[in-house]
Structure 1
Amino acid sequence: MRKITILATLLFCFVSLNGQTNSYKVSFDNAVHHEGEFILTFPKITTDTLSVRMANSSPGRYAFHSFAKNVYDFKAMDSKGKEISFHRPNPYQWDIYGHDGEVSIQYTLFANRGDGTYSQIDETHAHLNIPASFMFAPSLENRPIEISFDTPEDYKWKVATQLKKQKENLYWAPDLYYFMDSPIELSNYGLRAFKINSNGKSQNIRFVLHHNGSEDELNQYFESVKRIVKEQEKVFGELPDFDFDEYTFLACYMPNVNGDGMEHRNSTILTSTRSLANGGLQRNLGTVSHEFFHAWNVERIRPKSLEPFDFDNVDMSGELWFAEGFTSYYTNLILCRAGLITPEEYVSGLNGAFNYVWNSNGTKFFNPIEMSYQAPFVDAATSLDPQNRNNTFISYYSYGSVLGLALDLSLRKKNLNLDDFFKEVWGKFGEKEMPYTIKDLHLTLNAYAGKSFGDDFFENYIYQSNMPDYKTLFANVGLKMTQDTETGYFGGVIAKNTINNNTLVDSPAYTAGLEKGDVILIVNDIPMVGSTNFSDFLKSTQNGDKLRLTYSRQGKVQKTEVTLTKDPKYAITLDDEASKEVTLNRKKWLKR
């Protein structure tokens, strides 16, 4: 449980537990070359050996990252500044011995990836995700931490973080867990804030933006952020009780970062290469919506499988279809309800995730729970060997989002809705910060919508991988599904006449024995050369056409025949001929 009590805050903010506060100091003299200098001091050590580590995982990410690879020039010293010995039992750990009761370590960190997991240091900012930046002593995890920053005067950097500010450039965390969950942005950023009264309490919502844009752009964007915050509060009925009564968006919209978003307890990282002037005023808002929804769903409505978070290994959770997927369902729905996109834009946006999930072969291999278990292999994970994931895997973000859509529309047929179900989950688990299990979600749905309804949803769509009757569900809110039954469908992605992914199971290309890397040479006696290419040829085909293909595989010329089928994709659109009753259902759903 990570909730910070008011009493603990008052005690730890001003008292250092008899000197047992770990102190960290960071400087950036070589920022131009992406280096930061770190000094960490651990007083009152009572064991012969102090072990310090770099993390291998980061909150909100579920893959193994080996942050130790970017650390070098490590030294350990006693209280007098004398260098002392250490041993490395594995790539991630330093065992320090021969100290005099105090240990200070110093090291250099190379950091040049600005996103929700890694860190980036340059002349424009120091973007610090804590697990990627700071060593830690597991045996001292309950100690408070004070961290100070020595910032270059020429850079005009300011500090933004969910950590408690003690004084200028000095911040505090109650323990290691909170510290590791508290990203930091140092830059000459712009700041906007507003107070929101929720459940009898006033809380401060801050939006920090590091960008190259204007004050007017920030003002305009901040107004959209405010609408998102207020609309999401309506879903749950109240804001979370943020620690220190404050929540901070840490946005960095710069050309040298990597697009990402990452939730934390009282803050979120938002990174994008899109400036506000170059489409970001609209296109960056989806990440704002998604990550703020996590302040409830994930950070406080939290799977038991993620408690406590394991910084040495990766956590495996079967609930990500709900934690990430249902959050994804609300991402654009909130934008629509807030008037930031139109109903037509919202419905058009359903097509991508729906068709990806509906037409995926992944449901033959894994249900949503097992799809969630795949996170350590796909969540910013890296591997060198070829995989068959386009045939076996469906992102739990997308899978969960279309199931959230189905559950919401199914509940609405009973004059219920997903908003009120989330209020039930919030009241039982999130507000009390009591971690939940899949069984807990199942029983809560039973209590809210009836045992028959809840059992049917979980048995068919969560424990198994059946698909709901979307056509009927859509019709009840004035949407329609149509399909192109005439154009031919091949089943492989073509680039420069080459199949560049694994062909989809049971597709025409797969059935014909075609595979990734095959180069299409001749189609129906027509050479694929010059301005004639296979991708353009396919646009003129029809369902049922037979294609005689000559292709090259590993230098060997072969032949096969492909029988095209109808395109399995559906188009989801507003039904302009829907009845008044159905149109009213749609307005209640979209709040528009």
Structure 2
Amino acid sequence: MTLKNILSLSLISLLSITVSAQKTSYTISFENAVHHEANIRISFSDLTGKDLAIRMSSSSPGRYAVHHFAKNIYDIKATNSKGKTLKVQRLDPFSWRVLNHDGEVNVSYILFADRGDGTYSQIDETHAHLNMPATFIYAPALEDNPMEVTFNTRKDLNWSVATQLEPLGNNKFRAPDLQYFMDSPTEVSNHSVRSFDVDGKTIRFTLHHNGTEQELDTYFEKVKKTVLEQKEVFGELPDFDYDTYTFLACYIPNASGDGMEHRNSTILTSTRSLADGGMERNIGTVSHEFFHAWNVERLRPLSLEPFDFTKANMSGALWFAEGFTSYYTNLILCRAGIITPEQYINSLNGTFNYVWNSPARKYFNPIEMSYQAPFVDAATSIDPTNRENTFISYYSYGSVLGLALDLSLRAKNLHLDDYMKLTWNKYGKKELPYTIKDLEEALGEYAGVKFATAFFNNYIYSSEMPDYEALFSEVGIMLTRDIEKPFTGARVNHLGIIQNNIAQDTPAYEGELNKGDKIISIGNAEMDGMKKSFDDMISSYKPGEEIAVSFERSGQKKNTILKLSSDPTYTIIIDKSAKKKQLKKRMDWLKNK
């Protein structure tokens, strides 16, 4: 090695030491939790230059829309290493510049937080439920450097800390960089903990609730079954950092129902206690979010890498990342014996009919539906939209396509599990982000190029629908429809007011009814929802009949004629007369045998 090379390496090492010395240290305390406030202090050390730019995130890992977290912080102050007050200049709604520091900047502010879910933070005397983007200011220039956070817990409330962050002792935790820090939600509360080991990895379930330890024990058995059944799909657990995965469950009345995946943890929030329906109804979120430990956290779209905390993050692959995960959510519960095959088949009905009967497919394919995420994923707006006619959730759309792909593969004596294993081994396990074309090529590798090309051309790049009747028949399931049941397309409450934007190509749409119209009479009968509902009144007619409808819009009385159609709703049911071959395929599908 030449002297020049030695000097170059020495310089690189010196620079590395200088950079690694830069660190962001947070301290958060909760003295005023009763009023939903936290006091936060940050120390930015070993800085260069004279000014430091800081900001609040505008997005949160796992969410795809913009969120204005900066609205809930105030009383921002800054000092240098000697305690001298520094000027803090507001640059825009989300960022500031601290001027003329001496190599150290100490920032303090107050956070108001009162929504406990997978995106926001909530602080009160029951807990400090913290999503990092909604909680902490950061310095973009230091995003590649380590971060430490100390939680000053409320000892009077018996609080302890649950998080995927690396523990350093005394309620201090570490993240290697900003991406990991922002992806590490934390629950500080008086919670209970259960855990079990699988292949040298610890699965930890923390639960903040008002129930009993026995209820948690019963529920945890369901969690274990879910974890082990999902492992069978991919053949192994991911390599969790610090060999631990943490469920952060918060089932309390003041929470907001949600679930949000993260690299080595997930938030699970619900107002339902385990004793009041949560034992059965909360487990689906456990299944969905843990599946994300593979599909989206490591088996990850290139379009989401790296995650940008300053804007909405858009991906055309959410039909796979979220939708296929949704497909497996209840299927896993069925395979684990948590729900019955009959319950699983019945659960398909709502999602199937929502997708099948939506007029939105004429506008967007699954990729383009995925692009809508910044507008719908907990995004808020005050202007009305026409989602009933223009949008299908990529969760639902992808779920019914995952179902179709699985059944199509099973008709070839293949199955979706092995395709998921293949994509996992090619991309997820190696943490190589994929493109949609990669998914198509992997399907071609598994099931043949002709099969893959047809599936993607027809159902992913276009918005055709598979032949579900034939696919269901393969596993002894029937699609039925009551063609004698009349249908208008209007959802009317007991006051006679139409509640929904009317779907295109329905009798109500052709009859020019709109959301907000008040039905006055049907035929010769006045509308009185307290005595007889709109649907009950319509049920006395037959498809094809024309009925006169009077309604009120903007204070004016109007009349229209509705030509009733047959109800388009399908019912998915188990075929009691299925043959042995069909029964075997159904068993292989639902029991994973």
TM-score by length of 1: 0.96
**Alpha-carbon distance, 1:146 to partner:** 1.1
- Residue aligning to 1:369: 367
**Alpha-carbon distance, 1:165 to partner:** 0.4
- Residue aligning to 2:6: none
- Residue aligning to 1:567: 567
Task: Decide whether the 8 Å contact of 1:16 with 1:144 is kept in 2.
Answer: no
1:179 to 172, 178, 181: 181
- Residue aligning to 1:225: 223
- Residue aligning to 1:531: 531
Deviations 1:68-113 (A, max 9, x none): 0000010011012221012111010010012111001000000000
Q: Unaligned stretches of 5+ in structure 1?
A: 1-14
Distance 1:464 1:533 in 2: 39
The one-letter amino acid of 2:263's match is R
Deviations 1:14-52 (A, max 9, x none): x99764222110000000000000001001110211000
- Residue aligning to 1:10: none
- Residue aligning to 1:485: 483
- Residue aligning to 2:510: 511
SS in structure 2 at match of 1:550: strand
Distance 2:433 2:314 in 1: 15
Task: Decide whether the 8 Å contact of 1:22 with 1:41 is kept in 2.
Answer: yes
- Residue aligning to 2:552: 552
1:122 to 101, 124, 128: 124
**Alpha-carbon distance, 1:60 to partner:** 0.4
Gap change, CA 1:531 and 1:152, over 3 Å in 2: same
Distance 1:268 1:406 in 2: 28
Distance 1:534 1:227 in 2: 45
Task: Decide whether the 8 Å contact of 1:497 with 1:535 is kept in 2.
Answer: no
2:378 to 374, 380, 388: 380
Deviations 1:535-556 (A, max 9, x none): 3312333212221111111111
Distance 1:131 1:165 in 2: 20
Task: Decide whether the 8 Å contact of 1:43 with 1:101 is kept in 2.
Answer: yes
Distance 2:204 2:18 in 1: 28
Distance 1:516 1:23 in 2: 52
Distance 2:326 2:518 in 1: 37
Q: Which moved more, 1:549-558 or 1:413-422?
A: 549-558
Distance 1:539 1:106 in 2: 64
- Residue aligning to 2:10: none
Distance 1:535 1:415 in 2: 44
Aligned residues: 574
Task: Decide whether the 8 Å contact of 1:371 with 1:396 is kept in 2.
Answer: yes
1:398 to 396, 399, 414: 396
TM-score by length of 2: 0.96
Distance 2:74 2:504 in 1: 47
The one-letter amino acid of 1:230's match is L
SS in structure 2 at match of 1:590: helix
SS in structure 2 at match of 1:74: strand
Distance 2:123 2:257 in 1: 16
SS in structure 2 at match of 1:113: coil
Distance 2:49 2:374 in 1: 35
Distance 2:367 2:160 in 1: 43
The one-letter amino acid of 1:569's match is T
- Residue aligning to 2:412: 414
Task: Decide whether the 8 Å contact of 1:59 with 1:181 is kept in 2.
Answer: yes
- Residue aligning to 2:9: none
- Residue aligning to 1:586: 586
Distance 1:238 1:16 in 2: 40
Distance 1:498 1:185 in 2: 43
The one-letter amino acid of 1:56's match is S
2:277 to 276, 279, 283: 279
The one-letter amino acid of 1:509's match is A
2:440 is the alignment partner of 1:442? yes
**Alpha-carbon distance, 1:534 to partner:** 2.3
**Alpha-carbon distance, 1:143 to partner:** 1.1
SS in structure 2 at match of 1:434: coil
SS in structure 2 at match of 1:224: helix
> Mapping of 1:279-298 within 5 angstroms?
279-298=277-296
The one-letter amino acid of 1:248's match is T
- Residue aligning to 1:3: none
1:463 to 438, 461, 464: 461
Distance 1:447 1:366 in 2: 28
2:209 is the alignment partner of 1:211? yes
SS in structure 2 at match of 1:193: strand
- Residue aligning to 1:425: 423
Distance 1:18 1:245 in 2: 25
Distance 2:21 2:514 in 1: 65
Distance 1:166 1:233 in 2: 30
- Residue aligning to 2:22: 20
The one-letter amino acid of 2:27's match is K
- Residue aligning to 1:260: 258
The one-letter amino acid of 2:210's match is N
Distance 1:478 1:77 in 2: 71
Distance 1:387 1:258 in 2: 24
Deviations 1:384-409 (A, max 9, x none): 11110111100000000000000000
Task: Decide whether the 8 Å contact of 2:355 with 2:397 is kept in 1.
Answer: yes
- Residue aligning to 1:4: none
Distance 1:406 1:152 in 2: 51
1:301 to 289, 299, 302: 299
> Mapping of 1:94-133 within 5 angstroms?
94-133=96-135
The one-letter amino acid of 1:103's match is V
Q: Which moved more, 1:146-155 or 1:331-340?
A: 146-155
